[in-house]
Chains A and B, each alone.
Chain A
Amino acid sequence: MKTMRPYTPFLLLLSLLLAAPLAFAGSDDGPKHKIVIQVSSDDARTQKIALNNAVNLQKALGQDNVAIEIVAYGPGLSLLTSKSRQGKRVESLAMQDITFSACGNTMKKVARKTGKEPQLLEGVRVVQAGVLRIMELQEQGYAYVRP
């Protein structure tokens, strides 16, 4: 029991060598921080704050270190349509690595009500349903922010 077996140091070394790539693989797996921002309100101030949050987070953490997705649904969809009060800003942020997801379910609802599908801004993509997307992202480790 007391004496170390001759191959023990070798085994230790081997396990370290084997473990090293795992450690690197961990840090290599996309950006370190992941944040989902929920916009479900039509309120102009709330929508503006959501964009501010995204910009500030990206600035604070570094564009390469953070994945940010803004998911808009319900009355919040107005942030991402051609009638958005933040249209220009949304389009430019979409080019700076911020993902904008519009709720397909809400779009269908609007289309049923008004007779025409809402037009989305450049760079905005459609997801099946905003809520499902937010759940999915949180399951993937995204932190949840609701301004």
Chain B
Amino acid sequence: MNTITHYSDEIINAFVDGELAAAERRELLAAAAESDRLRQRICEAVQLKELVRGAYPARSPEGLVKGRSGRRGARMRHAAAAAVAVLAVSVALLLPRPEPGQRLADGALSPVLPLSTGEEAGETTRVVFHVSSADPAAARELLDQVELVLREYAAGNRPLKVEVIANNEGLRLLQQGRSPVAERIRRLDQRYQNLLFAACGNTLERLRRETGEQIRILPQAVIVQSGVSFVARRQQEGWAYIKV
């Protein structure tokens, strides 16, 4: 399963922290070469790390990452590390001001923050939509559902994360110059920070090989290595799953 690559905040943070295996790093870099948005997210993660390190030398960036529940089995938990973390937190608590939470919430930071602080699993509802058909009617139906869910949760002020993964013929929905819903994807992406579109890298490679087409993916989408592994992993992580 270690070949699965998706570019969640967890993975990006692991990359920034130098914790990804060489193969994973290469994959992420390759995908970053394709995606403006991914590059931007990586830059923001680096900035955040620098900022946190600069502001709170006692409280390591590790502590910040560890406090989040999204990271699964990515590393061993050493008792020593835990002790250090406890110590670091106590030191942080003893320091007069500013509180880390306030400082981080200051806004100047980036769109990474709303995704990466606070409510990871637990209260946040997470759902992954999977589309593998190029049918424009199915595409509209898909975006109707995605939008309905986003709107509903936003209206109720409930935390939500939505990912849409396209593979096989569904990839066409994320293809520049071919997607019948490109404009709507752009609008949704702009409007909702908690929405992510992802294209299956295997499909992309296969289509390029088989047809010789120079397929380019919409700038709003990231590329994951395997769409199927991606959704399988999301389900294991407790995400709701909807096949369109």
A138 to B238 alpha-carbon distance, docked (Å): 9
From known contacts A131-B149, A132-B149, A139-B125, infer whether A74 and B240 are also in contact, taking CB-CB under 8 Å.
no
Among A38, A129, A135, A146, which residue has its beta carbon within 8 angstroms of that of B127?
A135
> Does A40 belong to the interface (CB within 8 Å)?
yes
Interfacial chain A residues near B243, Cβ < 8 Å: 38, 146
CA distance A129 to B148 in the complex (A): 9
Q: Is the CB of A134 within 8 A of B141?
A: no
B152 within 8 A of partner (CB): yes
A86 interface hit (Cβ, 8 Å): no
Would B125 and A131 count as touching, CB distance under 8 A?
Answer: no
User: Chain B nearest CB: distance from A52 CB in Å?
Assistant: 19
CA distance A105 to B144 in the complex (A): 11
Distance of A18 from chain B, by nearest CB (Å): 26
| CB closest chain-A residue, reference B239 | A138
Partner of B241, one of A40, A74, A105, A138: A138
Interface: B244 (CB within 8 A) = yes
Residues B148 and A138 in contact, CB atoms below 8 Å apart: no
**B162 to chain A: closest residue by CB:** A135
Interface residues of A, CB < 8 Å — how many?
Answer: 13
Residues of B within 8 A of A38 (CB): 242-243
Interface residues in B, total, Cβ within 8 A: 12
Indicate which residue in A40, A138, A146 contacts B240 across the interface (CB closer than 8 Å): A138
Does chain A have a CB within 8 A of B69? no
User: For the complex, is B145 an interface residue (Cβ under 8 Å from A)?
Assistant: yes
* In contact, B141 and A139 (Cβ under 8 angstroms): no
Q: Which residue of A lies closest to B141 (CB)?
A: A74
Given A105-B148, A139-B125, check contact A131 B141 (CB 8 Å). no
Evaluate contact between B242 and A132: CB separation under 8 angstroms: no
Residues of A within 8 A of B241 (CB): 138, 144
User: B125, A135: Cβ atoms under 8 Å?
Assistant: yes
A132–B141 touching, CB < 8 Å: no
Residues of B within 8 A of A132 (CB): 148-149, 152
Q: Which residues of B contact A135 (CB under 8 A)?
A: 125, 127, 149, 240, 242
Q: How far is the CB of B148 from chain A (nearest CB, A)?
A: 6
CA–CA, A134 and B240, complex, Å: 8
Residue numbers in B under 8 Å from A40 (CB-CB):
141, 244
- From A74, A129, A139, A146, contact of B152 by CB (8 A): A129
* Distance between Cα atoms of A144 and B243 in the complex (Å): 10
Known: A40-B141, A134-B242; 4 extra A-B contacts, CB below 8 A, are A129-B148, A131-B148, A139-B240, A146-B243
Which residues of B line the A interface, CB within 8 A?
125, 127, 141, 145, 148-149, 152, 240-244
27 A–B contacts from the bound complex (CB under 8 Å): A38-B242, A38-B243, A40-B141, A40-B244, A74-B141, A105-B148, A129-B148, A129-B149, A129-B152, A131-B145, A131-B148, A131-B149, A131-B242, A132-B148, A132-B152, A134-B240, A134-B242, A135-B125, A135-B127, A135-B149, A135-B240, A138-B240, A138-B241, A139-B125, A144-B240, A144-B241, A146-B243
